[in-house]
């Protein structure tokens, strides 16, 4: 529906509509021309309720404004997701050297023509007493990202495009069995003898059906899919719409269907829970057809509706065949060039205690290999140190449609980011390569690329906070200040008086901040937005509890800081014995002091090709407990037997260092 038409129906002006839409949880940006029909009808049907909510929140805003006047008025600066220092200086009215100094104070050493991200800008904005706001029209830039992916595929020479496994997403109403179905599909495919079927949860997995690989995005619920969709990334090729046969079409079934429709995804319906006596397949079919215009193929329509029981694992084979059938129909679109530089979408991103920043990337074009440099928006995130598949096994290449968990990045990307490899011989790479330190082996954790590259030692817990009165804000700030240590600090990216607003949630999302309220309320629209963006609003009325939560978050960062102790490096001179589960090799200790019962990485051409354990150590045919630098030794390696003469073995111990403030 056109936005103007919706405004007419609600008897308000288009500008008024744009003002209220974000408050109602429909943030479509002020430049939008259309709004999706489902959202439009939801607004029309609930308009009288919404009007009451809006009136109430206006009242609260007016009330808090009275108190807010006690705070010094801050200048507001709206910026895009990344901005050069020079542009930021011009916008904020400070000279460039002032901005550079503030950046330096925060450990960011860059030139005036280099870009800082929103996160960095809002942190220095705090020090400069300016309110930095992310341009809501950034959505447009994000969808250009999505087009970027399409353009990359379109620009490939047709002869280089090869079929790739389809990527499948499972959607549907809560409790209709999405998780159970994903588990059931995975379980039917576990090969015998495969580590008891234990897989790592990396947000996606692959199975084989009739000799063909299928990739499943293993993140039920809409959140991740919506995040990716809103950034314009078309991640999946096929959708499975799960509808419980005992419950029928429900609100989230409708919502999921609209997402599928908008993304123009071909789909199959899985009618789940047919083992239940209340299951009524015909009723589900008629609801699908009446409410969503989905006509099942056996009713003369085009959509395959497969009865299944995820619990009893029945019908799964048929469902997978239906997915393969759709894949066959869409085969011209499900292609990629495996020889190109890798491009993919981030489907999971977190900081791991042992490995630092890790991300799961679904490769969409090209092949990713360890040692390559990954960039987001032309900014290097770091070098891929190690790649693991969903089974947790180290792999040395990830081809199109393969989900792969990578570690070694110096900065964490966000879910939905489209990341790409800049090949070392390209001109662009030559310009950027100097920025990445050669040594990619040190675990390094940071949320921010600019900081990460400079190896800054202090970490921050970003905070968005609100309180009822100025006195509370001051007391809380003072208490938080006392928590700062040399290694971890609190950074208040936004503070305010009165109830939470949607802009708080946007700021928290952009700066990965913890949201804390003291004696304040959250209206329904803000709650809805927070839920949608996966932001937790922590509310307190006791200062101690407020401060304690921040303390816990800070300790959490400390705990992640120290992860491994390097013992030394061995150069492999001989391979004596190779079995399926390990090798006995000989080598010379190039540095350090090697001890048995430690962990080990096999490194070839600067990239990790396997990992395992060093279980035995010998010197002069005697078992020993240490071997020092320049000495030769024999060692027993437990792991994938890939070691060759000339490889480097990096031996280390993992140390859990749980620190308290
Ligand atoms: P999700 O919210 O869509 O991910 O739903 P879940 O997979 O968590 O399932 C919700 C509930 O339904 C759980 O208690 C499941 O055990 C149950 N469930 C899922 N599939 C089936 C099924 O095929 N039959 C029966 N009887 N229960 C099921």
Please report the pLDDT score of residue 292 as a whole number. Answer: 93
pLDDT in tens, 557-611: 775 554 678 899 999 999 999 999 999 999 999 999 999 999 999 998 878 888 8
**Quick one: average pLDDT of 528-533?**
88
Ligand 1 pocket residue status of 127, Cβ below 6 Å = no
Maximum Cα–Cα distance for the chain, whole Å?
A: 90
pLDDT in tens, 297-354: 999 899 999 999 999 999 999 999 999 999 999 999 999 999 999 999 888 877 666 6
Please provide residue 189's backbone torsions phi and psi, each rounded to the nearest 5 degrees: -105, 0
Distance from residue 180's CA to the centre of ligand 1 (Å): 6
What's the pLDDT band for 658 if we cut at 50, 70, 90? low
Residue with the nearest Cα to atom 6 of ligand 1?
177
What's the pLDDT band for 453 if we cut at 50, 70, 90? very low
Please report the pLDDT score of residue 514 as a whole number. Answer: 93
pLDDT in tens, 538-564: 999 888 889 989 998 888 777 555 467
Burial class from Cβ neighbours inside 10 Å (0-12, 13-18, 19+) for residue 72 reads exposed
Ligand 1 pocket residue status of 275, Cβ below 6 Å = yes
Q: Do 35 and 42 form a contact (C-beta atoms < 8 A)?
A: no
Among 496, 476, 499, 493, which Cα is nearest to 550's? 476
Please report the pLDDT score of residue 93 as a whole number. Answer: 87
Residue with the nearest Cα to atom 24 of ligand 1?
273
Question: For ligand 1, what atom is nearest to the CA of residue 242?
Answer: 3
If you average pLDDT over every residue of the chain, what do you get? 80
Ligand 1 pocket residue status of 273, Cβ below 6 Å = yes
Distance from residue 175's CA to the centre of ligand 1 (Å): 6
Question: For ligand 1, what atom is nearest to the CA of residue 182?
Answer: 7
Q: Do 124 and 101 form a contact (C-beta atoms < 8 A)?
A: no
- Compute the radius of gyration of the chain from its Cα atoms: 27
Ligand 1 pocket residue status of 176, Cβ below 6 Å = yes
Among 295, 289, 293, 241, which Cα is nearest to 263's? 241
Q: Compare 153 and 642 and report the one with higher pLDDT.
A: 642
Distance from residue 392's CA to the centre of ligand 1 (Å): 27
Measured CA to CA, the distance from residue 147 to residue 162 in angstroms comes to 20
Distance from residue 11's CA to the centre of ligand 1 (Å): 44
Please report the pLDDT score of residue 532 as a whole number. Answer: 86
Q: Is the pLDDT of residue 34 over 60?
A: yes
Measured CA to CA, the distance from residue 87 to residue 264 in angstroms comes to 39
Q: Do 312 and 319 form a contact (C-beta atoms < 8 A)?
A: no
Measured CA to CA, the distance from residue 450 to residue 117 in angstroms comes to 8
Measured CA to CA, the distance from residue 602 to residue 600 in angstroms comes to 7
Separation of first and last alpha carbons in the chain:
54
Ligand 1 pocket residue status of 175, Cβ below 6 Å = yes
Residue with the nearest Cα to atom 14 of ligand 1?
175
Coil, strand or helix at 204: strand
Ligand 1 pocket residue status of 278, Cβ below 6 Å = no
Distance from residue 498's CA to the centre of ligand 1 (Å): 41
Among 604, 610, 607, which Cα is nearest to 637's? 610
Distance from residue 176's CA to the centre of ligand 1 (Å): 6
Ligand 1 pocket residue status of 178, Cβ below 6 Å = yes
Distance from residue 307's CA to the centre of ligand 1 (Å): 14
Burial class from Cβ neighbours inside 10 Å (0-12, 13-18, 19+) for residue 137 reads middle
pLDDT in tens, 188-213: 765 433 444 445 678 889 999 999 99
Residue with the nearest Cα to atom 22 of ligand 1?
273
Q: Is the pLDDT of residue 630 over 90?
A: yes
């Amino acid at each position: 529906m056109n936005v103007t038409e919706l405004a007419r129906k609600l008897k308000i002006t288009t500008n008024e509509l744009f003002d209220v839409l974000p408050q109602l949880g429909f943030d479509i940006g002020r430049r939008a021309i259309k709004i999706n029909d489902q959202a439009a009808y939801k607004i029309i049907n609930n308009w009288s309720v919404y009007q009451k909510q809006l009136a109430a929140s206006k009242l609260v805003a007016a009330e808090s404004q009275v108190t807010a006047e006690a705070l010094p008025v801050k200048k507001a600066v709206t910026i895009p997701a990344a901005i050069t220092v020079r542009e930021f200086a011009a916008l904020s009215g400070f000279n460039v050297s002032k901005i550079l100094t503030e950046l330096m104070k925060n450990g960011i050493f860059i030139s005036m023509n280099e870009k800082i991200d929103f996160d960095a800008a809002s942190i220095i904005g705090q020090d400069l007493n300016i309110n930095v706001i992310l341009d809501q029209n950034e959505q447009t830039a994000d969808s250009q990202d999505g087009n970027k992916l399409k353009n990359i595929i379109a620009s490939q020479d047709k002869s280089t495009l090869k079929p790739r496994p389809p990527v499948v997403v499972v959607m549907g109403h809560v409790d209709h069995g999405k998780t159970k179905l994903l588990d059931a599909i995975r379980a039917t495919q576990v090969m015998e003898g495969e580590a008891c079927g234990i897989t790592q949860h990396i947000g996606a997995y692959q199975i084989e059906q009739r000799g063909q690989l299928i990739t499943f995005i293993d993140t039920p619920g809409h959140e991740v899919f919506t995040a990716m969709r809103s950034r314009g990334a078309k991640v999946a090729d096929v959708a499975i719409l799960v509808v419980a046969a005992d419950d029928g079409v429900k609100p989230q079934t409708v919502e999921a269907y609209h997402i599928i429709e908008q993304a123009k995804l071909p789909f199959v319906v899985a009618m789940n829970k047919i083992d239940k006596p209340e299951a009524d397949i015909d009723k589900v079919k008629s609801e699908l057809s009446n409410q969503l215009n989905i006509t099942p193929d056996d009713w003369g329509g085009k959509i395959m509706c497969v009865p299944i029981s995820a619990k009893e694992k029945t019908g799964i084979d048929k469902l997978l065949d239906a997915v393969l059938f759709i894949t066959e129909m869409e085969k011209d679109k499900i292609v990629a060039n495996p020889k190109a530089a890798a491009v993919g979408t981030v489907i999971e991103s977190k900081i791991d205690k042992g490995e630092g920043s890790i991300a799961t990337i679904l490769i969409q074009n090209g092949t990713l290999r360890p040692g390559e440099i990954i960039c987001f928006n032309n900014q290097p995130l770091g070098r891929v140190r190690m790649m693991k598949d969903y089974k947790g096994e180290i792999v040395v290449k990830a081809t199109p449609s393969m989900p792969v968990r990578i570690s070694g990045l110096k900065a964490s990307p966000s879910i939905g980011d489209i990341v790409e490899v800049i090949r070392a011989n390209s001109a662009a790479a030559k310009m950027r390569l100097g920025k990445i330190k050669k040594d990619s082996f040190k675990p390094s954790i940071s949320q921010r690329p600019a900081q990460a590259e400079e190896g800054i030692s202090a970490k921050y817990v970003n905070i968005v906070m609100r309180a009822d009165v100025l006195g509370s804000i001051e007391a809380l700030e003072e208490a938080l200040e006392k928590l700062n240590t040399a290694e971890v600090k609190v950074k208040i990216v936004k503070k305010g008086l009165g109830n939470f607003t949607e802009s708080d949630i946007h700021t928290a999302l952009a700066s990965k901040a913890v949201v804390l309220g003291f004696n304040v309320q959250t209206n329904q629209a803000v709650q809805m937005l927070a839920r949608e963006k996966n932001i937790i609003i922590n509310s307190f009325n006791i200062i101690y509890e407020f401060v304690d939560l921040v303390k816990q978050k800070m300790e959490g960062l400390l705990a992640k800081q120290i992860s491994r102790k390097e013992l030394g490096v061995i150069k492999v001179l001989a391979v004596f014995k190779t079995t399926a589960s390990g090798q006995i090799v000989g080598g010379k200790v190039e540095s350090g002091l090697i001890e048995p019962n430690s962990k080990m990485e096999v490194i070839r051409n600067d990239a990790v090709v396997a990992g395992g354990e060093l279980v035995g150590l010998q010197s002069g045919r005697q078992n020993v407990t240490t071997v020092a630098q320049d000495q030769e030794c024999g060692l027993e390696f437990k792991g994938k037997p890939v070691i060759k003469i000339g490889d480097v073995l990096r031996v280390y111990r993992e140390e859990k260092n749980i620190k308290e403030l």
